[in-house]
């Protein structure tokens, strides 16, 4: 019998959440056939079978957190399948076997869930019933279908949904907490006149379309950001608290926040300095699509030196983005819209680009941060500089 364990997928992963079983007990599988989807704090991973054989036992329901090295399934290898004896029935509703609840002493401690059949547990979840508040009337205190019906009819039953903090949202919570309690964060804001940049974007949109790329404002902003970081390398740094060292990076790797159904992901676009505007547009589009489909590798979230949060894509104008540690700065980009401004004594409409720069005040003083933001605005308002310096 082969023990199928949660493997060490690297990148410091110590545990994962079972998302979906792709097989069931008694099913024959081929070597390398997908068995289960597991979500780590980095990515959604599809784990294959190490051997060909028959699934004899599955351990862990969807939603359960399991540590690396834990046995997830027992597989009877194909070469021994004909001579092996009958497998011990699973307790989770195998076809032809009686569905049984887990063994219990009959006592349920305060705060613990009573024993319940898997089908009734699913029904309890659908009804929003907190099982810890239900006293089972079945054998050994098991919660029955009748108990669930009575609990559902109680006018005072809880209406709060408990959502476990898992996967991406769990990682995001830890990262933001680390950022809030370590960096001394300050934010300055500025606006750039995007008229010349809009005209350039409109001229190049057809060329981008030929490559199947939608040319947005973001590639231009990222390119201008890269040139500004060349002038102010301190902002393209990370901090090592153990050695108390600031690491100024020669390579510019831009992370950018992507809103997904599972939470905020920050994939990293590497070596931005070497990419053209169209290359950037194509790469950003690709990373965004794969992030939302959870098809990015764990390595694609590593190595960032500066982050951009484009909350303007969702309608926001101003914000105070939170630094993504160990980086020392982050740029927020708001919604670009026509705004009345005064130019040469006349009121005209211009597309203004709202920019918010959050920086770690332990390492970057306000004057340096403002000069950096001024330099970024200069590149955005005169995009020909981008072509000259590139």
**The pLDDT of residue 83:** 45
Cα distances from 193 to residues 49, 98, 115, 339, 383, in angstroms, run 56, 71, 64, 10, 11
- The predicted structure's pLDDT at residue 306: 98
Q: What is the pLDDT of residue 390?
A: 64
Which residues in the chain show pLDDT less than 70? 9-12, 42, 80-112, 155-158, 390
The CATH number of 168-389 is 3.30.559.10
pLDDT in tens, 272-291: 999 999 999 999 999 999 99
Alpha-helical runs (H) found in the chain:
118-127, 145-153, 167-180, 195-210, 218-231, 277-292, 366-381, 384-389
Residue with tokens 């092996």: 84
| The pLDDT value given to residue 219 | 94
pLDDT value, residue 104 = 44
In this predicted structure, what is the pLDDT of residue 193? 97
pLDDT at res. 272: 95
In CATH terms, 2-80 corresponds, of 2.40.50.100, 3.40.30.10, 1.10.760.10, 1.20.58.100, to 2.40.50.100
Summarised one tens digit per residue, pLDDT across range 214-250 is 899 999 999 999 999 999 999 999 999 999 999 999 9
What pLDDT sits at residue 344?
Answer: 93
Q: What is the DSSP letter of 115?
A: P
110-164 — its CATH code? 4.10.320.10
Catalytic residue numbers read 361
Cross-strand partners of 246: 239
The per-residue pLDDT for 116 is 84
pLDDT computed for residue 27 by the predictor: 93
* Domain chopping of the chain, boundaries: 2-80, 110-164, 168-389
pLDDT of residue 108: 58
């Amino acid at each position: 019998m082969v023990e199928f364990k949660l493997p060490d997928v690297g990148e410091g992963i110590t545990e994962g959440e079972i998302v979906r079983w792709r097989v069931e007990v008694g099913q024959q599988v081929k070597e390398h056939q997908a068995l289960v989807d597991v979500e780590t704090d980095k990515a959604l991973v599809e784990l294959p079978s190490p051997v060909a054989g028959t699934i004899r036992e599955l351990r862990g329901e969807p939603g359960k957190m399991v540590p690396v090295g834990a046995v997830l399934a027992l597989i009877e290898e194909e070469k021994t399948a004909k001579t092996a004896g009958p497998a011990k029935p699973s307790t989770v509703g195998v076809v032809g076997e009686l569905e049984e609840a887990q063994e219990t002493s009959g006592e349920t401690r305060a705060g613990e869930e009573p024993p319940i059949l898997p089908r009734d547990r699913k029904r309890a979840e659908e009804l929003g019933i907190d099982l810890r508040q239900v006293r089972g009337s079945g054998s050994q205190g098991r919660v029955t279908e009748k108990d669930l019906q009575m609990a559902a009819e109680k006018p005072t039953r809880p209406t709060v949904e408990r959502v476990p903090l898992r996967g991406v949202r769990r990682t995001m919570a830890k990262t933001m907490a680390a950022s809030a309690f370590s960096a001394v964060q300050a934010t300055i804001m500025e606006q750039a006149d995007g008229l010349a940049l809009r005209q350039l974007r409109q001229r190049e949109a057809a060329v981008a379309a030929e490559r199947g790329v939608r040319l947005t404002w973001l590639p231009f902003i990222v390119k201008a950001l890269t040139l500004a970081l060349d002038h102010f390398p301190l902002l393209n740094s990370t901090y090592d608290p153990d050695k108390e060292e600031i690491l100024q990076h020669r390579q510019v790797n831009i992370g950018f926040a992507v809103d997904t159904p599972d939470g905020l992901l920050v994939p990293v676009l590497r070596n931005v300095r070497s990419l053209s505007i169209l290359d950037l547009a194509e790469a950003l589009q690709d990373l965004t699509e794969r992030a939302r489909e959870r098809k990015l590798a764990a390595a694609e979230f590593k190595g960032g030196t500066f982050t951009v949060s484009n909350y303007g894509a969702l309608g926001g104008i101003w914000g105070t983005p939170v630094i993504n540690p160990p980086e020392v700065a982050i740029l927020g980009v708001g919604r670009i819209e026509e705004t009345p401004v005064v130019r040469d004594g006349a009121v005209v409409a211009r597309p203004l680009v709202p920019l918010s720069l959050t920086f770690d005040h332990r390492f970057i003083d306000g004057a340096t941060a403002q000069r950096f933001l001024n330099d970024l605005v200069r590149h955005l308002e005169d995009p020909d500089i981008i072509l000259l310096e590139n």
